[in-house]
């Protein structure tokens, strides 16, 4: 497997900051093989474990993302300003968690 593919997949995972499906990664890189992307990710996961890096690759179903290990999050917490959800979504989820069960109409009233 060409080393360039590994570097490309690594760059995509690093830059995205969110979970990406292997199909999406393959599409972004113009690769016809989802299996190749999966193999590259497995290699990267192994490499990060072997070199005892502050970074790791998390897996969620068929999706992956690069992440800072929990031991190091406190160091960079102030640098991490963006999440996968925007502020309104986070606020809505907080209301749901706080007041559940809740009708959608009540959520709309509370959010407006």
Average pLDDT over residues 42-60: 91
State yes or no: pLDDT of 1 exceeds 60: no
Q: How does DSSP assign 58-103, residue by residue?
A: EEETTEEEEEE-HHHHHHHGGG----SS-HHHHHHHHHHHHH-S--
Q: Please tell me the least confidently modeled range out of 36-40, 60-64, 73-77, 91-95.
A: 91-95
pLDDT tens digits along 2-12: 568 888 999 98
Question: How far apart are the C-alpha atoms of 52 and 97, rounded to whole Å?
Answer: 36
Structural domains of the chain sorted by starting position, each given as residue range(s) with its CATH number in brackets: 3-81 (1.10.10.10), 82-112 (no CATH)
* 3-state SS class at 56: strand
Q: If you count them, how many residues does the chain have? A: 112
Phi-psi region of 52 (alpha: psi -120 to 50; beta: other; left: phi over 0): left
């Amino acid at each position: 497997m060409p080393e360039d593919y590994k570097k490309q997949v690594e760059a995509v995972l690093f830059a995205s900051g969110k979970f990406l499906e292997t199909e999406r990664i393959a599409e972004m890189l113009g690769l016809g093989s989802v299996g190749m992307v999966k193999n590259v990710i497995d290699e990267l996961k192994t490499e990060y474990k072997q070199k005892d890096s502050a970074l790791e690759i998390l897996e969620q179903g068929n999706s992956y993302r690069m992440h800072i290990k929990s031991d190091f999050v406190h160091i960079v917490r102030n640098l991490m300003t963006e999440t996968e959800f925007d502020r309104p979504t986070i606020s809505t989820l907080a209301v749901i968690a706080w007041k559940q069960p809740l009708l959608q109409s009540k959520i709309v009233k509370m959010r407006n």
